[in-house]
Structure 1
């Protein structure tokens, strides 16, 4: 995977925008039960020994010294900086949710592939992470269609501030993602502008306006 250094993040102006919510961390813990590698590592750290180490899969055994467990979360430290990152299990929907928070959310603001990746890898780790973010970014309609004009002098117009939840929303699609178990390769994102609450739903590439409206109502 792409190497991350704190100096790189500072050099391109990446600032931490948020920290993982407790509900997100609870979802990560729950998803460990469905991931074979995570279950092996958690079992090992529950009672570490040479014998239990030998039971680990070869690819885990070679790097087990880089893992540890804290508050039920698997943490991984990379070779280059030894910073702990939360291990994300192989869960398609969970990866989409986390990537959205570091790429699309109002506090992140479509900063592009490199900045999104550097932000994401400050907190989380999974295999082939850079490849995932690159594919996600290429599939993002906002990033591909909205090209800022560097010399534009037009004044910015603020949207009216909503006074209650779901009075005003923003919506977007991301397509071309790895398919889930129902062969859906996109997500629709609804963001409440008042509370910043986010709802995500997996959609097929040919999703219709009627289907999108039904997802929002549901």
Structure 2
């Protein structure tokens, strides 16, 4: 079942209804959605305005031209006649042309109506720009010698009062040398990147386009820096680079229930007056607590549920990780946590992965409920306790321990363990003092091993996550 269908079932499960079959030929309303509309009901297409007509005068042919035209269309003499045609008579090559002079309208093509302005680089610059180039040549070490002492014929050429670099690639190309004047070089990059006929290309294509007509020693580097800092590109263009920011895992706590993450599951069918679940997860042992509540509960109600589900059994945590739900950002909740010395760590808005542990636990609980509830789903409260216990006995992939064992220091008893209890006690007879000493030692070792396993799991997760990310150093003002 897809998630979308599951959401629909969850929504409709709060209603009690009976399905009635409607025969196909009677269900005309549904058929209307999948049938083409009858003729005559379609909206008339908007007609484009008529194209403007332009009148041209066709060349007034003489009798000699008409005679030549007849010969042109005879393949036997076509090549001989073509050599004798004047430029004005080239229209004779067209079939079915009226050879007598007249004036008639000729439709202008639609492509010509919406014309586009194209930019053509020209060496004829404004006088002030020309003087800026000449002054720049005199001060730029890269071009000063060629400009003052005379251009070398094999590489540089003076023309139009400017210096050109002579490059031969199949055919000779003259590229205008741009001196080290910030305004001149910036104007070139603006023309080939921001211009109307440029459309903000990337740094490589901007460089290749500009390099056809201009040149300077640091052109490639300057173009890359200009495109990188283009505000329009940064604001509107999609990026093909890796996403910014490497993963920074949340530090592993030293003890169980030292750090707790919390979230809500809402929109559930009403069951015994409840329609939501408060999910609290220990950051170290990964043990979860599921507390039924209702979606209209305020911060005071949630505080009571939290104390009953977590604090009463495991004590006060040092920190709580949560999203920015209205209950968690209320003045009452903040004041209460401050009085108890609990640090509130709230995730960034619309950044669910910052509290991925609880989001994952929500998914696990929802999947388990779907497998256990009735058809209408209004008995989910009866199954929450069973699911909580079952999940606490399953080995966690990160810690390599079951949450119950890591939290209590002992493995959960099952049928096989109960039958072998007497046998195990007879083989391992120890005094009460020795048992207490071993229990404390094993408890400490288990917690430390779990912490080490968590750190290794975080390292693997960070390595996998950072493959598609890149480190970015922001400066003041960015």
TM-score (norm 1): 0.47
Q: Which has the higher helix share?
A: 2
| Higher normalized contact order (CA 8 Å, seq sep 6+, divided by chain length) | 1
User: Normalized against structure 2, the TM-score is what?
Assistant: 0.23
